[in-house]
Amino acid sequence: MSRPLILVTNDDGVNSKGILALIEIAQTFGDVFVVAPDGPQSGKSHAITLEKPFGKNFLLKTDSLTKYSCTGTPVDCVKMGLNMLMDKKPDIILSGINHGSNSSINVIYSGTMAAAIEGYMHGIPSIGFSLLDHSEDADFSACKQLLAKIVAMVLQKKETLCLNVNIPKLPASQIKGYKFCRQSNSNWQEKFVPADDNSDYYWMKGSFVNHDNSPDTDEWALDNGYVSIVPVQFDFTSYKTLETLKNIEL
Amino acid sequence: MSRPLILVTNDDGVNSKGILALIEIAQTFGDVFVVAPDGPQSGKSHAITLEKPFGKNFLLKTDSLTKYSCTGTPVDCVKMGLNMLMDKKPDIILSGINHGSNSSINVIYSGTMAAAIEGYMHGIPSIGFSLLDHSEDADFSACKQLLAKIVAMVLQKKETLCLNVNIPKLPASQIKGYKFCRQSNSNWQEKFVPADDNSDYYWMKGSFVNHDNSPDTDEWALDNGYVSIVPVQFDFTSYKTLETLKNIEL
């Protein structure tokens, strides 16, 4: 069997520590093709670039590693990889490792998770990885073995799925294991801080508010020292509300 | 009872024809507070602006209408409206009317729908409206009566929900009615067209591919002359996949 072909992307940019760690993990499994933003694209969600062209920049090619950066969003990177840059469809897409959490409602704002979901929409097994450490210099060494197990599991299953994986900021020895879980119910509350005294510009500063501490949620898993794994889908329909609406006459 | 307070936003920008039509509809129900992007923000999904400040611009205040534009994304507009500009929580959020479809998988790329979903995440009934006509000069006259009925229904229900409403591009007399439905399963396939002969920049051009023509879907409703109404939620968990993963040992 030929080595798997792995598309790697992220939202922190092609030179971030997180993606370098993920490329290392990916290279132990197969041939790696990187298409990642040329700079930070956090909070870009599923945004795509329609109003202007966007660019690619060839960085590197060896036998087992090809690397491009892209001036677009994380989802643009996946679309450009799949539809223009790659000769064949990848066996799996890995996105991250994100500097900071994408658990709970963060999934909806995250460029890292949007890239994984975009891959899944094209029928490709996809995993987004995030470490609960925002700092540019975060330590990803504990992640490598933990994440490799998940990649191995997904490659072996040969099932098209999408996973949102978050890793607590703990030494490897203190991580208790993995929990398959659901997204907890939460939101962000924002404050607006004036950028300076004489302008109408503001920094948006958010506080995360979790409304849901049930033991089957990702927030519970992370708070209790587990790696959280939430399988993700892209059907926004509220079937529960649909049932209640069906008898309404308009 | 005091008149309802209605927050209006969109992704095509504060001066687009679609939002002007929506403001007219909203004013027949209550006091209207507009916070909308200062220019086109299509395809911005749930993106938020974190890496730099963003601005507000006061435009107008009368007894029943207040208007701001904002230099951020549609979701930034909602966050700025709720957390800074408005004195009290709105009774409902109306987003649109979008120039072009947000049915099916378009919901994930849409700034218009992201704004509505953000409102719903804050516990506010929210509706995103879209007309299946991309042109800047689209004719929204058929929409007004059709959409007013939906706003009236949601205001009357006093239930926190989020609706994705799409309207076929047809004269009012040819619209058969409303269908409550689910999001059809679809994706976009992209081609990349060089921006010019000597650069690495490309326009991304997509083709919509619907994989799901079941009569309970929004695509079927729209193809058959109905206004589609999909109730929307923001839990990305795939409960079906979660069941299959629960027995895996990692």
Q: For testing the chain A interface, which of B12, B35, B45, B178 should be mutated: the one with the most A CBs within 10 Å? A: B45
Give the domain extent around A150.
5-245
CB contacts, 8 Å: B73 with chain A: 47
In a domain, A185, yes or no: yes
For B164-181, b where at least 16 C-beta lie within 10 A, e where not — what string?
bbbbbebeeeebeebbbb
pLDDT of B182 reads: 98
**Contact in structure between B114 and B46 (CB atoms under 8 Å):** yes
pLDDT at A109 > cutoff 90: yes
Q: Which band of pLDDT confidence, cut at 50, 70 and 90, is reported for residue A1?
A: low
ipTM for the whole complex: 0.96
In a domain, A199, yes or no: yes
Percent of chain B surpassing pLDDT 70: 100
Chain-chain contact of A236 with B46 (C-beta, under 8 angstroms): no
B143 to chain A, minimum CA–CA distance in Å? Answer: 14
In a domain, B250, yes or no: no
pLDDT of B199 reads: 85
What are the Cα distances from residue A222, in Å, to A128, A149, A181, A184, A211?
A: 16, 18, 10, 11, 15
Q: What is the pTM of this model?
A: 0.97
Q: Give the residue from chain A lying closest to B107, CA to CA.
A: A236
pLDDT at B1 > cutoff 70: no
CB contacts, 8 Å: B200 with chain A: 55-57
Can you say how many angstroms the Cα of residue B182 is from the centroid of all Cα atoms in its chain? 16
**Contact in structure between A180 and B248 (CB atoms under 8 Å):** yes
Report pLDDT digits (tens) over A20-67: 999 999 999 999 999 999 999 999 999 999 999 999 999 999 999 999
**Mean pLDDT to the nearest integer, B59-76:** 98
Determine how many CB atoms are found less than 10 A away from the CB of residue A151. Answer: 24
B43 to chain A, minimum CA–CA distance in Å? Answer: 5
Question: Which CATH number is A39's domain given?
Answer: 3.40.1210.10
Report pLDDT digits (tens) over B7-19: 999 999 999 999 9
In a domain, A186, yes or no: yes
In a domain, B20, yes or no: yes
In a domain, B16, yes or no: yes
In a domain, A66, yes or no: yes
Report pLDDT digits (tens) over A171-200: 999 999 999 999 999 999 999 999 998 789
Task: Tell me the pLDDT of chain B averaged across its residues.
Answer: 96
Distance (Å, rounded) from C-alpha B49 to C-alpha A49? 16
Report pLDDT digits (tens) over B172-214: 999 999 999 999 999 999 999 999 987 899 999 999 999 999 9
Residues facing B68 on adjacent strands: B35, B58
**Contact in structure between B219 and B213 (CB atoms under 8 Å):** yes
**B97 prior amide bond cis, ω within 30:** yes
Determine how many CB atoms are found less than 10 A away from the CB of residue A90. Answer: 24
Report pLDDT digits (tens) over B79-135: 999 999 999 999 999 999 999 999 999 999 999 999 999 999 999 999 999 999 999
In a domain, A250, yes or no: no
Number of domains comprising chain B: 1
